[in-house]
Structure 1
Amino acid sequence: MYKHILLPTDGSEVSKRAVDMGLDLARALKASVYALHVILPFQALSYMTQIIPESETSYTEESVRWAERYLGEVRDKAMRAGVPCDSDYVFDKHPCDAILDIAKKRECDLIVMGSHGWHGFTKLLLGSETQKVLVRSQLPVLVCR
């Protein structure tokens, strides 16, 4: 069945539940997992160009620290569950594209990810990376709430 599961994580509670479910599934199937965190690139509206380099550096450093924290939590859970786990973070302005690209590069055969369950205007306004992955993925996607 599934041998290599992609676990995108953003550190949210729903994402953590998806990671737990993905790890349970991987343990049952004797599969490995790949944890991924997508960092949005720094964006700024600027009229004071002298402050941007420092802001971008601070943003990048803080984003990488958070990514390492989220991924470290997944690796720790995987180790306790006896599930082989690799992980990394990437910078991409389109998380859906990054998720699908990594799934292909890492030869994953399932994506397990969370959905915040937004409806109506909130979903329209904020969009849903999970929905985008569902629509565009050629792989099975297990969505957890």
Structure 2
Amino acid sequence: MKQKITQILFATALTRHSSYALTHAASLAEATGAKLHVLHVAEPLSDDALITMRMFMQDAGSRAEALKARHDHMKAVLTERQKEFWATLPEEDRGIQDQIESIEIIDGHPAEVILRRARELKCDLIVLGAHEHGFSQTFLGTVAKRVLRRADIPTLVVPYRDD
């Protein structure tokens, strides 16, 4: 029996490489007719960062504004990356954009949020990019490893490419 893909969750770290992974997610959505959900997870600030904010921003309203500005910045980056991605595609391929069902930024620990949203959205596939090769990073990255270990649906990890 064939497993039908109707909902795809694309998790992005907002890196430049993410557009390469999005190419694969969009291609799969087009080939299967699936809806595409784009998700970025904003990692919580460290305890040190929160303490620093409290020390230098004693007004709770100012701290709330700073946290909102952080979230707004992520939204702006996500919007810009989406715009850049769709602009690079040939005109005939831009219709895939209509298959995007949701674009979200959610605060939390990335692997946990990705897995939770995949369940909530009843996704059949998770697509995310691997980290670039680096001195302190393993090939897949911590988030991809955690998602792969705990996912109960197929998960595609798109390798990093320099181009």
Q: TM-score range by the shorter chain?
A: 0.7 to 0.9
Residues paired across the two proteins, number: 141
Contact 2:8-2:25 within 8 A present in 1 as well:
yes
Deviation track 1:76-110 (CA, whole Å, cap 9, x = no partner) reads: 73992334111111111x11000000000011010
- Larger mean Cα displacement after TM superposition, 21-30 or 34-43: 34-43
Matches within 5 A, 1:1-145: 1-43=4-46, 44=49, 45-46=51-52, 49-51=55-57, 53=60, 54-55=62-63, 57-71=65-79, 73-74=81-82, 77=86, 80-82=94-96, 83-85=98-100, 86-92=102-108, 94-118=109-133, 122-123=136-137, 128-145=142-159
TM, length-normalised to structure 1: 0.80
Contact 1:14-1:114 within 8 A present in 2 as well:
yes
AA aligned opposite 2:125: L
- Larger mean Cα displacement after TM superposition, 47-56 or 21-30: 47-56
Contact 2:11-2:40 within 8 A present in 1 as well:
yes
| Residue 111 to residue 46, structure 1, CA distance change in 2 (3 Å) | same
| Residue 47 to residue 80, structure 1, CA distance change in 2 (3 Å) | closer
Aligned-residue CA RMSD in angstroms? 2.8
> What CA distance in whole angstroms lies between the structure 2 residues aligned with 1:47 and 1:104?
34
Aligned sequence identity (%): 25
Contact 2:54-2:63 within 8 A present in 1 as well:
no
Partner-residue secondary structure (3-state), 2:10? strand
> What CA distance in whole angstroms lies between the structure 2 residues aligned with 1:15 and 1:112?
10
Contact 1:23-1:81 within 8 A present in 2 as well:
no
Contact 1:19-1:74 within 8 A present in 2 as well:
no
Deviation track 1:35-64 (CA, whole Å, cap 9, x = no partner) reads: 001112233233963515435532431333
Larger Rg: 2
> What CA distance in whole angstroms lies between the structure 2 residues aligned with 1:141 and 1:29?
16
Q: Where do 5+ consecutive residues of structure 2 fail to align?
A: none
> What CA distance in whole angstroms lies between the structure 2 residues aligned with 1:36 and 1:99?
8
> What CA distance in whole angstroms lies between the structure 2 residues aligned with 1:62 and 1:106?
26
Q: Where do 5+ consecutive residues of structure 1 fail to align?
A: none
